[in-house]
Every structure is written in C-alpha cells, then in structure tokens.
Amino acid sequence: MRGRGFILAGLLAASTVCLAKNYGDWLKKVPTADRAQVNPYAGNPQAIAAGANLFHENCAKCHGDNAEGKHSRPNLRSAQVRNATDGDLAWILKNGVVFKGMPRWSGLPEQERWQIIAYLRSLSLQPSGGKQ
C-alpha cells in the first residue's frame, strides 16, 4: 500500500510539473552570447513578408493569427516579447521551452527563424487587432 502511495504521489508530482505553464522564465536561460545576436533580416520588408507566411503556417495555430495568444498560450505582442532581444527570440525558437509546452523549431533553417523574428518585430509597430 505504501509503495502504491509513493508511486501515486510521484505520478501526481510529475504531472504537475508537466502541466505547469510558466512561460516567463525562459529569458533567464538565454546565454549572453545568444542574447547579443542580431537579426540579419531586421526591417527587411521581404523578410517580414516571408516571416508572416512562416508564422501563419507554423505558429498561428497556437499563438493566434494576430499573435495575441490562444488557449492560455503566450501573447507575442506582450511587453516581455517586445523587450526581449532578437537573440532571445532566436534562442527560444531554436531551443523551445519543451517542458512548458513550446516545441523546438530547430528543424526550420536558421534563416527562416530570423524571418519569423523580423515579422514578430514588425507586429510591435502595428496596432493589435483584438484583445491584449
């Protein structure tokens, strides 16, 4: 009986860890060198258009068509994302926050990840279409 209790407690603890959604901590994990990376496509209109296509193909289903978050998934127009560096965003796209639900996108070529970031940056300049 005692053994079963321990197993049950272990499973509960594991599921709590798995289900916990605290997306905010990832910024602390970004190495300094990665944080300092600069987007080679920053402000490039063609890259922003390409990034928009990539975003709608790969990211919008979770983060919403207007990047405002969906089903408790993060709003990419938030102050935290706006204040993050391009390098921070590149790091999270490559590494994900896998134990909190954000998958890695390391399978996408690095250039395409930078195009997505260029698009996300362009959103900061646009008014949001709905809820904040």
- Interface ranges with other proteins (CB under 8 A): 18, 45-47, 49-51, 53-54, 57-58, 61-62, 70-72, 94-112, 115
In angstroms, how far apart are the furthest CA atoms of the chain?
65
Query: How near is the Cβ of 60 to other proteins at its closest, in Å?
Result: 9
Query: How near is the Cβ of 127 to other proteins at its closest, in Å?
Result: 22
Query: How near is the Cβ of 1 to other proteins at its closest, in Å?
Result: 29
Query: How near is the Cβ of 5 to other proteins at its closest, in Å?
Result: 25
Contact 67, 131 (CB under 8 A): no
Tell me how far apart the alpha carbons of residues 29 and 113 are, in angstroms, rounded to a whole number: 19
Query: How near is the Cβ of 95 to other proteins at its closest, in Å?
Result: 5
For other proteins, the closer of residues 3 and 107 by Cβ is 107
For other proteins, the closer of residues 4 and 24 by Cβ is 24
Tell me how far apart the alpha carbons of residues 72 and 109 are, in angstroms, rounded to a whole number: 28
For other proteins, the closer of residues 89 and 102 by Cβ is 102
Give the residue from 120, 34, 37 showing the smallest Cα distance to 80: 120
Tell me how far apart the alpha carbons of residues 11 and 72 are, in angstroms, rounded to a whole number: 24
Tokens of 25: 């901590």
For other proteins, the closer of residues 4 and 71 by Cβ is 71
Q: Which own/partner contact pairs does 14-17 have at CB distance under 8 Å and 24+ positions apart?
A: 17/99
For other proteins, the closer of residues 47 and 84 by Cβ is 47
